[in-house]
Amino acid sequence: MSAAAGTVPGTGHLGPAATMRASVLRGPGDVVVEERAVPRPGPGEVAVRVASVGVCGSDTHYYDHGRIGRFVVESPLVLGHEAAGEVAALGPGVSSLAVGQRVSVEPGVPDLTCPQCLAGRYNLCPDMRFFATPPIDGAFAEYVVVHAAFAHPVPETISDDAAALLEPLSVGIWACRRGRVGAGSRVLVTGAGPIGLVSVQVARAFGATEIVVSDVNPARLALARDLGATEVVDARTARVTDLPRPPEVLLECSGHPAATAEAIRALDRAGRAVLVGMGGDELPLPLSVVQERELEVTGTFRYANTWPTAIALVGAGRIDLDRLVTGTYRLDQAEDALTAGRRDPRSVKVVVHPQT
Residues that bind Zn ion (CB under 5 A): 110-111, 114, 117, 125
199 vs 261: CA distance, rounded Å: 19
Of 280, 288, 234, 232, give the one whose Cα is nearest residue 258: 280
Contact 161, 321 (CB under 8 A): yes
82-90 vs 102-105, strand pairing mode: antiparallel
Residue nearest to Zn ion (CB): 125
When the beta carbons of 37 and 114 are compared against Zn ion, the nearer one is 114
Q: Give me the torsion for CA of 308, 312, 315, 319, rounded to 10°.
A: -110
Count of alpha carbons within 13 Å of 132, Cβ hemisphere only? 29
How many whole angstroms from its chain centre is CA 43? 27
When the beta carbons of 118 and 287 are compared against Zn ion, the nearer one is 118
Of 264, 316, 321, give the one whose Cα is nearest residue 292: 264
CA quadruple 335, 338, 342, 344: dihedral sign: positive
When the beta carbons of 119 and 183 are compared against Zn ion, the nearer one is 119
When the beta carbons of 78 and 109 are compared against Zn ion, the nearer one is 109
196 Rama sector, left if φ>0, alpha if ψ -120 to 50, beta otherwise: alpha
When the beta carbons of 123 and 190 are compared against Zn ion, the nearer one is 123
Q: How far is the CB of 130 from Zn ion (least distance, A)?
A: 12
When the beta carbons of 126 and 345 are compared against Zn ion, the nearer one is 126
DSSP for residue 122: G
Q: How far is the CB of 305 from Zn ion (least distance, A)?
A: 14
When the beta carbons of 64 and 111 are compared against Zn ion, the nearer one is 111
When the beta carbons of 42 and 126 are compared against Zn ion, the nearer one is 126
Q: How far is the CB of 117 from Zn ion (least distance, A)?
A: 3
Rg of the chain taking only CA atoms, in angstroms: 20
How many Cβ atoms sit within 10 Å of the Cβ of residue 39? 20
Q: How far is the CB of 111 from Zn ion (least distance, A)?
A: 4
Give the amino acid at 155: P
When the beta carbons of 125 and 213 are compared against Zn ion, the nearer one is 125
CA quadruple 176, 351, 150, 112: dihedral sign: negative
Phi, psi of 2 (to 5 degrees): -120, 155
Q: How far is the CB of 113 from Zn ion (least distance, A)?
A: 6
Q: How far is the CB of 250 from Zn ion (least distance, A)?
A: 29
Q: How far is the CB of 302 from Zn ion (least distance, A)?
A: 13
Helix (H, G, I), strand (E, B) or coil at 109: strand
Q: How far is the CB of 300 from Zn ion (least distance, A)?
A: 18
136 beta partners: 133
Q: How far is the CB of 114 from Zn ion (least distance, A)?
A: 3
